[in-house]
A and B are shown apart, each in its own frame.
Chain A
Amino acid sequence: MNALLLMAPALLLLLAVFVWPLLDYAWLSLQAQSVFTGLEAVPVGPLNWQRLAADGRFWQDAWQTLRFALVSVGLELLAGLAIALLLHQRWRGRGVVRSLALLPWALPTTVMALGWRWIFNDPYGPINGLLQSLGLASVPFLAAPELAWLATVVADVWKTTPFVALLLLAGLQMIPHDLYEAFALEGGTPWQGLWRITLPLLRPYVFIAALFRLAQALGVFDLIAVLTGGGPASSTESLAVYAYLNAMRFLDFGYSATVMLGMFLLLLLGAAALLVWRRQAEVRA
């Protein structure tokens, strides 16, 4: 009884900011609430869910969101590891570079997305300016689907690599230095040390970084909303952008709630699958 009392504040907070909105969305996904109903909620049963299952754009966006998250987080882990290893070495000016390297991450996403929109601008942006001065044709980075998708990945990697690097740097600093000394005395080279000591001991940190970044990247909204608006032809649209469009542009609140809940369920499924896989891997090891 006492324990319950002590947990009550945290429990109530969780209920208020997490469980209650979720239940509200679940209820809303069973209503029609749009311009056609005069923005009144009208119970329609599973109609929204049937529409979602058959909605090509939803599944297309789900695939695009997943692709965006996997590719950009993968690149961030690689680049972040390289930067962390570099910043872990001793060299002159390392302190300054360490602080500078964090700057992209400290920048608000909308600001940096506007910056990248300008950089990729056709034909006035700096990249196209450079191409033109070399006598090449300018490239419509944000107007061609494959290129626009690449542009969102580049901008995301630029912004969040410092975060990954910081986490991995913290991990590197947790590895006792004498392990490397013992390893060297046993005849190991620094390159072998990277594979035999550094990477295995860094694994929990890589896992945490990947988890944080995947959770963020799968819900990506601001970067895409500002950089491409989901276009061209919704080729860069993420699920969060689609849900936003449903609510704020099409004023279809019932379906927007369904899209968001659908995305939530997909993530839950993915997370559960990952957990089971990890548990099994642990049992095998």
Chain B
Amino acid sequence: MSTAASLRVDGLCRRIGGRAILAGIDLEVAAGECLALLGPSGCGKSTVLRVIAGLDPCDEGRILLDGRDITRQPPARRRVAMVFQSYALYPHLSVERNLTLGMELRGVPPEQRERELTAVLELLQLSELRRRRPAELSGGQRQRVALARALLRKPQLILLDEPMSNLDAQLREEIRPQLRAILSGGRAPAIHVTHDQQEAMGIADRIAVLHDGRLQQCGTPQELYHHPANLFVAGFIGRPQINLLPQADGTVVGIRPEHLVAVGNGGLAVRVLSREWHGASQQLLLESEQGPLRWTCDGNQAVGDDLRLGWEQRHEHRFRQASGERC
């Protein structure tokens, strides 16, 4: 990964009516890199995007794009493109007019406009649809038009605000690799906001987990999964959720459902409460003296079975109960 960060955000703060929506966010995104901003709804991830785009004011902190301080610049001057959750396509204009309007406003000459339009229509397989209005397009097609519009901006940074949330599950999985290929094909860094960890892991080079307006952890999907920095990240990343077992010494042991193994003696005594069969694996809900446990296994247990479970030391995560931080 290149060390020359293309986007740098230092100590970003945003307050609304005295309440801190963002409390000091630091981010770095390198040229050509895609960063996912992941968090539950209301954590402030869309606000980060809007402040970087200049649509919401920045109360504190700095935003540097290729070394240029854009913190106080109006949105039009930032050379930042955004794909909105709603796609925000102009409903009264055809696909091609939606795509060329921005170039027209920026004074791009007509021949160049036509050339770039043809190229981007080709890239996103929209050539057949150029005369259609947004209302005559499917959700996936609209998303491609919104992405095409963002690419035509020739941005130094692409922001995507939950671009998949209006698509059905199957389409999302189809589009993920395409989106990833298109984003890494350009040199501009990208920030992709989502609440869906599958999507974040599928698209992004790195993931920044946000909670309550604070950055919890930023790293590759593997780092987040194998070394969660605190209890929130441990609980948020990974499905089914990690098992958290409070200990007598004021720590919490986290163990992922797939890392539990059946043992002959010792370990925890459990009873199978319910079972979901997923084909390759089965998902069990267990009852233990430590509370309910989740276990992913490929065995064939039945509801009501009694057994004993343990785990290897290397799979254990330990957190401080009070602060939630990793030990």
Contacts and interface: CB of A to CB of B under 8 A. Distances in A.
Given A176-B86, A181-B75, A181-B88, A186 B105 contact: yes
B105 A178 contact: no
A182 B92 contact: no
Interface string A195-217: 01100110000000000000000
Interface string B84-109: 10101011100000000110011000
Contact of B80 (A176, A185, A196): A185
A187 interface: yes
Contacts of B78: 185
Nearest to A189: B76
Contact of B88 (A178, A192, A196, A201): A178
A179 interface: yes
B53 A185 contact: yes
A180 to B, nearest CB: 9
A181 B322 CA distance: 43
A39 B281 CA distance: 97
B86 A201 contact: no
A11 interface: no
A192 B76 CA distance: 12
Contacts of B81: 185
A184 B90 contact: no
B105 A201 contact: no
A188 B76 contact: yes
Given A185-B81, A189-B76, A201 B92 contact: yes
A192 B105 contact: yes
A187 B76 contact: yes
A182 B88 contact: yes
A178 B106 contact: no
Interface in B136-183: 149, 153
Interface of B is mostly: loop
A121 B320 CA distance: 87
B35 interface: no
Contacts of A187: 76, 102, 105-106
Given A192-B105, A196-B101, A184 B76 contact: yes
B31 interface: no
A183 B76 CA distance: 8
B289 to A, nearest CB: 52
A182 B84 contact: yes
A188 B105 contact: yes
Interface string B36-65: 000000000000000001110000000000
B252 interface: no
A181 B84 contact: yes
Nearest to A182: B88
A191 to B, nearest CB: 11
B293 interface: no
Contacts of A196: 90, 101, 105
Given A186-B101, A186-B153, A189-B76, A197 B90 contact: yes
Given A178-B88, A185-B81, 11 more contacts: A181-B55, A181-B75, A184-B55, A185-B76, A185-B80, A185-B153, A186-B106, A186-B153, A187-B76, A187-B106, A188-B105
